[in-house]
Chains A and B, each alone.
Chain A
Amino acid sequence: MNATEKRKSASAAAVLLWIYSCFTVFVLGYLLYNSFREKGDLLTNTLGKPKSLSFRAYVDLFAEQKFHLYFLNSLLILAATLLIVVALSSMVAYALGRYKFKFKNALQAYFLLGLMFPASLGVLPLFLLMKDLHLLNSYASVILVLSAGISMPVLLLTDFFAKMPGEIYESAVLDGASEWKTFYRIMFPLASPVVFSICIVMSVQIWNQFFMPLIFLQSDEKKTVPLIVMKYTSNLMLSMDKAMAASVVATLPILILFMIFSEKILDGVASGAVKG
C-alpha cells in the first residue's frame, strides 16, 4: 500500500464512524418526532405522513399519569445516593490517602472487592436484610444499597489525596485546625474536580438503575422513571404514544446535561479508566 491508499483506508474507517454516529442521532430524532404523533397514527401509519403533530402524549403523561411524581422519585434517590456516596467515599479515601497505619494495604484491597462483585448477585441476602430492617418498598432500601457501592470513588479519591503535597496538611495543622476541619474546609474542596467527575459517572448509573428499584420498590407510586417507562413499553398497542413521550422525557434532560458538560464528563470517564 502506498501512502494515499493508507489515507484512504483511514478515511473509510472515519466514514463508517460517521454513519454510526448519524445512526445514533437519527434514532434519537426519530423518537422525538414520533412522540408528537397520535397513537393510532403511530400504529397504522408508521412511516407515512403524520396526520397531526401535538403535545397530547406529553399532556397525558403528566396530567393523567403523574409522570412528574416518578421523576421526583428518581431525583430523590439520585440526590440522596450521590450525597452519601460522596461523603462516605471521600472520608474513607482521605483516611487511606493521608494517614499511614497498619493493615492499610489490606483495607485498600478490601474496598476494591466491590469492583469485582456486582451488587446484583448479593441481592438475596440484601432482600432478607431489608426485610429485617423493615425497609422493603422504601426509598431508603434502594438508596442504601446504591450508596454502598463506593469502590470506584474510593479508588479515584485515594489516589488524589495520596498525591497531594504534604505541606498543605502541615500548614493547616500549624494553623491549629483540627483533623476534621482540615478535611472538610481544606482537603475536600481541593478534591472537588475529582468529586465532580465521580458524581457525573455515578449519576448516570443511579438514574438508569433498573435492577435494585425493581427488587426493592414494589408499590407503583414509589417506582422510578426506568420502571415506569417499562410499564408503557411493555404494552405498545395500549400505550405506544405514552411510551414515546415517556422515553423522551426520561432521556432528553440527561442528554442535554451531557451535551453541556461533555468535555468534563468524558475526561472523568477516561481518568477512571486509566486507574481501573
Chain B
Amino acid sequence: MSYIKKRPFLLFLLPGFLIYTLFVVYPIVAAASISFFRWNGIGPKTFVGLDNYIELFTSSELMSQFSNALLNSLKIFVLTVLIVIPVQIVSAYLIHNEVKGYKFFRAAVFSPQFISTPVVVFIFTLLLDANVGLFNKVLEWVGLGEYVRPWLGIPEYGIYIVWLMVSWSGMGVGMIFFLGAMKMISKESLEAGYLEGAGFWRRLFSIILPQIKVTILNMVLISYIVSMTIFDFSFILGGVSGGIDHNVDVMALMFYRIAFGESNNPLGGNISENAMGLGSTVACVLFLLIFFISMFQIWLTYRRREEGA
C-alpha cells in the first residue's frame, strides 16, 4: 500500500491503461500473431509461418483484389492531396481574412461532417441517380442533355464518386485545422508582408504557407491514413463486394470481406476456412503500409524542425 501511496499517479493511470491496452494495443499485437496461423476463428489453429503473406501476394485472385483495392485507396489519397488540401487551404485563408460572410462559410463547409455516412451516400444518390437524380435533370434543363448518364452505374466513375463523397463530408475538418494553424502565425510577420506591399495571394504563398508546413504535412498523413482505412462509403455504395467488379473496393473493405465473408452478416455466410488468418494478414499489411509512411512523415517533420532551429 505504501508503494502506491508514494506513487499516487499509478491509480490514476491504471483504469485507462488497462482498457486502452486491452482494446487498442492488444488487438494490434494479436492480429500480428494470428496472421501466422491458418484459422477460421473456431476450428483448429495451425501455425503456417509466412504462408498467409505468400498466399496473399502470389494467389492471382487475391493479388488482383489487393492491387485493385490499393490502387483505389491511393487514387482517393492522391486526389485529396492534389485537390482537397489546396481547396481547404484557400478557403481557410479566405475565412482567416474574414471575407464577407465568412461565418456562414465556416459553418456551411463544416456541417457535412455531422452527417452520418449512410445519409451522405443517400444524398449523393439523390443527386446522381439515373432516374431520380437531380444532376441529370439540371443537365437536361440547361441544354446539356447529351451528357446525361447513369452516374452511379458506370464502374469507371465509382471510385471518383466515393472520393467526392469523402471530400464533401471531410472538407470542413481540414479547413478548420488549417485555420487553426493560420491563427497561430504571429501578427507581426503578416503586417510585415502588408507593409512590403505583398498582395492577397502573395501573402498566402510567401508568408502563410511556409509557416503552416507542418500542418500541411500532418494533413497529408491524415489523408493517407483515412484513404487506407476508409470503409463506410464503399460498403454502403457497393456492398461487401465493393460494387461491380470491385470498382469501389478499398483496402479496409477488402479486409472486411476476407475476414467476415461475402455475406452481409458478420457472423454468418460463407466464411472461408482461413478467414481469421488471411484477414489478419491483410490487416497487418495495412498496418505496415500506414506505419512506414507515418515514420517517414515523422522523420521528415523532425528533420525540418532541426533545420529550422
Q: Interface of A with B (CB < 8 Å)? A: 1, 3, 6-7, 9-11, 13-14, 17-18, 20-22, 24-25, 27-28, 30-31, 34, 42-43, 46-47, 84, 87-89, 91-92, 94-96, 98-99, 101, 107, 110-111, 113-114, 116-129, 136, 144-145, 147-151, 154, 179-180, 183, 204, 207-208, 210-211, 214-215, 218, 225-227, 229-230, 233-234, 236, 240, 243, 247, 250-251, 254-255, 258-259, 262, 266, 269-271, 273-274, 276
> Could you say which residues of chain A place their CB within 8 Å of the CB of B225?
116, 118
Number of A-B contacts (CB under 8 A): 273
Is chain A's interface secondary structure helix, strand, loop, or mixed overall?
helix
Binds A, one of B10-18, B52-60, B73-81: B10-18
Instruction: Tell whether A273 pairs with B118 under 8 Å between CB atoms, given A10-B201, A124-B280.
Output: no
Contact present for B259 and A14 (CB under 8 Å): no
> Could you say which residues of chain B place their CB within 8 Å of the CB of A87?
15
Determine the distance from Cα of A38 to Cα of B275 in the docked complex, in whole angstroms. Answer: 45
Query: B299 within 8 Å of A by Cβ?
Result: no
Can you identify 23 A-B contacts, CB atoms within 8 angstroms? A6-B199, A10-B97, A24-B112, A46-B132, A88-B20, A95-B12, A101-B7, A117-B24, A124-B31, A128-B41, A128-B276, A144-B23, A147-B23, A148-B23, A183-B12, A210-B231, A215-B260, A218-B267, A225-B116, A229-B122, A230-B236, A233-B236, A266-B176
Contact present for B183 and A270 (CB under 8 Å): yes
Q: Interface of B with A (CB < 8 Å)? A: 7-13, 15-17, 19-20, 22-28, 30-31, 34, 41, 90-91, 94, 97, 99-101, 104-119, 121-123, 125-127, 131-132, 134, 137, 168, 173, 176-181, 183-184, 199-201, 215, 218, 222, 225, 229, 231-232, 236, 252, 255, 259-260, 265-267, 276, 279-280, 283, 286-287, 290-291, 294
Determine the distance from Cα of A226 to Cα of B118 in the docked complex, in whole angstroms. Answer: 6
